[in-house]
Structures are given as C-alpha cells and as structure tokens.
C-alpha cells in the first residue's frame, strides 16, 4: 500500500506539473511543507548561495518531481503564484460551532454584489471544504487573504500554496468535484481582492471594531490595519517574530482602552493565516504577547 500510495501521489504531482503548475513536496499525510525552513537551512545543495523558499523551489520538471517523490509518499503542494492561479478556499467551521461555512458566506457575498456564483475548476478538500481554482489576472499581482472577502473564505495567490488534488490528509483525499474547466478570476472578485480589501476596511470602522475617543480611534484603526498587514507580509522564518512584535504593539492600545482584545486577536490571526501560518503556530504567541503587553502598559488606560 505505501508503494501504491507513493505512485498515486507521484502521478498526481506530475499531472499538476503537466498543467504548468509548479509543485513541491508536503509532509506525508500533512499540509505542511516537507522542505526545510529558513531557520534550519543547511546552506547546501539548492541553498548553497542562500536559503531558497518553497515557492522558488516548486517545479514543473518531471525528473525533479520523480526524484523528490521517490523518497516517500509526499502530499503535493501547489505554488499558486508561480502557477498563475488564484484559489478561493471555502472552509468549514470548527466542529463545536454552528457558524455558516465558507460556501454559505461566499454565496451570500455573490448575492450582495449581484453577481452569479462563479463556476470553475473545483477541488473538494480533505476537511469537506472547497477550493475554487481561477486563472489569476496578469495585470495585478494578488497575494493571500484570510477572511477579506467573507468569513471562512480565504484566497491563495503569490506567497501561498494549496494542497493539490490527489493528496491525503487524515484519511481523506483532495479530489476534483463538479466543474473541471479552469476559468479566469471574475473582474468583480479581482476588484474586491485588490488592497485595501473590503472586509479589512470594514473591520477598522467604529461599526465593526470597538474604537474610542475621536483621533485616538483613527490612530488605533490605522495601527490595527498596519500591524495586520505587517504580519501578513512577513517572510518565512520571521513570521512568529512578526506576530509577537505586532501583537505587543497593539497590546498597548488594548491596555489604554483604544482597542478591544478580541479585535486585536482576530486581526493578528487573519494576518498570520494570510502569511501561511496555521492556528497552532500563532495562537499561543498572540495570547502570551498580548498578556505581556497589557501587563507592561497597564497604567496607560484612559478615562472617559
């Protein structure tokens, strides 16, 4: 069975490469890259002149792919930016909540904007979510977003990757379902994805983010937006430090009463996920950094 699985994964990786989509190995049965990170770079082989990230190491070369997958039953990472793709990820909520899933919130977005739900190549994920593959616009270099369009709706483009069809996670398979034809990203979605994103703008208004005291509110809103963007754009190897730095900076505004703690946690979480981090990689860092910052700045709270 291991050899059969390895052969299936190799075939799926080669299929993606034949479409012109650069791939790289993910850990067996997992969604994380099998390649070393910057902090553990041996500076040998392809990294002898400096660390080469997974986005640069992704390839469509059949021989390189065969060599890589000969070492084990690796899942398949598809580097969306170099592939010329933008993938809309419609996720499932946590099992202990009755929140609507990404497919529902995305449909609501389509209805609000008066647009039909787009049809394109569709992949069912191992968790039961959906990936919608689109050809990325040539005129705009789009990057990852997390919740910018709607709750539980993320996008992957430059700086991101998706787990490709054929991969297995927790005993479930990523597989094509529904439409198979790849279509261009609709103009209305492209417009919404060009920064600043509509959802980001909404979260920095008084209606969505509890801000206080006039000019202080404007400063807090700008700080929140800037720190989220800084986390989202942090390079590999510096992402955890960026989370801690941004959270501590915003923690001062929580201590002063200019921002609510939950708002800061949500913004930094969005930024971390847009950078490609998983919840277990950033949650404890956010909590500890906020606790530290609030304690250090506990004498700064203002009175009305």
Question: In three state form, how does the secondary structure of 78-94 look?
Answer: EEHHHHCEEEEEECCCC
pLDDT digits (tens, 9 = 90+) for 276-293: 888 888 999 999 999 999
Mean pLDDT across the chain: 86
Torsion of CA 162, 115, 206, 261, to 10 degrees: -20
d(CA 128, CA 152): 13
pLDDT of 128 strictly over 60: yes
206-221 mean pLDDT: 52
pLDDT of 28 strictly over 90: yes
Angle between the 2-18 and 62-69 helix axes, to the nearest 10 degrees? 160
Q: What pLDDT does 279 receive?
A: 85
Q: What pLDDT does 15 receive?
A: 98
Q: Which residues pair with 78 in a beta bridge?
A: 23, 162
pLDDT of 70 strictly over 50: yes
2-12 mean pLDDT: 93
Q: Answer for the pair 119, 109: CB distance below 8 angstroms, yes or no.
A: no
Greater confidence (301 vs 141) lies with 141
- Closest residue by Cα to residue 163 from 118, 120, 123, 119: 123
pLDDT of 304 strictly over 50: no
Greater confidence (162 vs 211) lies with 162
Q: What pLDDT does 114 receive?
A: 93
84-102 mean pLDDT: 88
Q: Which residues pair with 168 in a beta bridge?
A: 173
In terms of Cβ atoms closer than 10 Å to its own Cβ (0-12, 13-18, 19+), residue 177 is middle
Q: What pLDDT does 140 receive?
A: 85
Least confident range from 27-31, 87-91, 147-151, 194-198: namely 194-198
């Amino acid at each position: 069975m291991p050899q059969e699985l390895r052969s299936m994964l190799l075939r799926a990786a080669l299929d993606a490469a034949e479409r012109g989509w650069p791939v790289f190995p993910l850990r067996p049965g997992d969604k994380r890259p099998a390649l070393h990170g910057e902090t553990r770079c041996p500076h040998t082989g392809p990294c002898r002149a400096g660390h080469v990230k997974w986005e640069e190491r992704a390839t469509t070369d059949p021989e390189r792919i065969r060599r890589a997958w000969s070492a084990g039953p690796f899942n398949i990472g598809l580097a969306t930016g170099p592939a010329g793709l933008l993938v809309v990820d419609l996720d499932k909520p946590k099992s202990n909540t009755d929140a609507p899933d990404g497919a529902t919130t995305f449909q609501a977005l389509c209805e609000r904007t008066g647009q039909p739900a787009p049809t394109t190549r569709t992949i069912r994920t191992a968790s039961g979510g959906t990936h919608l593959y689109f050809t990325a616009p040539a005129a705009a270099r789009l990057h990852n977003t997390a919740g910018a369009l709607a709750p539980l709706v993320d996008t992957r483009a430059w700086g991101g990757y998706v787990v490709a069809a054929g991969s297995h996670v927790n005993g479930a398979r990523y597989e094509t379902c529904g439409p198979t034809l790849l279509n261009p990203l609709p103009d209305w979605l492209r417009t919404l994805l060009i920064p600043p994103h509509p959802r980001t703008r909404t979260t920095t208004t008084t209606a969505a983010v509890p801000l206080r005291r006039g000019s202080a509110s404007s400063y807090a809103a700008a700080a929140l937006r800037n720190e989220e963007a800084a986390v989202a754009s942090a390079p590999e190897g510096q992402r955890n430090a960026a989370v801690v730095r941004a959270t501590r900076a915003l923690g001062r505004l929580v201590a002063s009463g200019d921002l609510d703690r939950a708002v800061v946690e949500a913004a930094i979480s969005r930024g971390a996920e847009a950078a490609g981090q998983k919840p277990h990689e950033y949650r404890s860092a956010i909590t500890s950094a906020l606790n530290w910052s609030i304690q250090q700045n506990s004498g700064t709270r203002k009175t009305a």
